[in-house]
Each structure stands twice: as C-alpha cells, then as structure tokens.
Amino acid sequence: MASQLPNRSRPHVARGPARARPPRARLAPREHRVAVAAARISPLLRFTRHGIAAMAILAGIIAMAIGTPTSLVGGSALIGAGIATWLIAWLYRVGVEGDEARADEERARRFFDRTGRWPDA
C-alpha cells in the first residue's frame, strides 16, 4: 500500500545519522588553546615545575660557597639533582604536548569523516 503523504526530500536521512546533527564549532587553533592553558597554570604548579628545581640548585650553590671539599661535592650533587628535576618536568610536558597533538589529529580525522573536509586550523 502506497503512502498518502507527499514525497518530501529528507536530506538529513540520506546523509546518515552523523550528519543529521547540527555542526559543531570549528576546532580552535592549537596556539590559542596553548595560550589559554598557559594562562590557567596555578602558582603551585609553577612552583612544582620550576621552584623545587631552582631551590635545589640554589642550595647547591650555597653549599659550594662554603668551600670545604665535602661541601663542593655535595653542592655539585644538589645542582645536578636540581637540573635533573627540571629536565624530568620538561620531558613530561613535552610528552603531554605530544598526546594533545595526537588528540587534535584524531578530532580532525573525525571531523573529516563527518564532513568530508579537513578542518581549518
């Protein structure tokens, strides 16, 4: 039995359920997201990243200023520990930025799958 309703074009059905949804806002450029994230860094996090390493280096310099052979060795060990602490924190941030870049790429690929075009970034 044929339907008595008028034949209407239903493009939202023809395009599939993923395209029937309203379009999302475009992806923000990565530089903007990085700048916003940098503006939101708490003082405690800044101290953890840089302050602890700086305090270890400063303690090493003060210990070396005393001038005994033992304090020279201990001071150099403290300086090395401070530099190592700072480098570990830096390497962690580099790794996290790589994860964000992979997530950005995945979002761009999903956007491409939905729309058929690469997002402008």
Give the model's pLDDT for residue 116.
86
Give the model's pLDDT for residue 94.
86
Q: What is the mean pLDDT of the chain?
A: 80
Average pLDDT over residues 33-49: 78
Give the model's pLDDT for residue 31.
64
Name the DSSP class of 15.
T
| Other CB atoms within 10 Å distance of the CB of residue 28 | 11
Domain contains 1: no
As for how many domains the chain has, the answer is 1
Q: Please tell me which of 7-11, 18-22, 89-93 the model is most confident about, judged by mean pLDDT.
A: 89-93
Domain contains 30: no
- Tens of pLDDT, residue by residue over 50-87, are 999 999 999 999 999 998 999 999 999 999 999 999 99
Which carries the bigger pLDDT value, residue 28 or residue 116?
Answer: 116
Domain contains 18: no
Phi then psi for residue 12, to 5 deg, are: -70, -25
Distance of CA 51 to the CA centre of its chain: 21
Domain contains 60: yes
Q: Which domain holds residue 53?
A: 43-113
Using alpha carbons only, how large is the chain's radius of gyration in Å?
Answer: 28
Q: How far apart are CA 69 and CA 79, in angstroms?
A: 15
Domain contains 3: no
Domain contains 106: yes
pTM for the whole thing?
0.56
Domain contains 52: yes
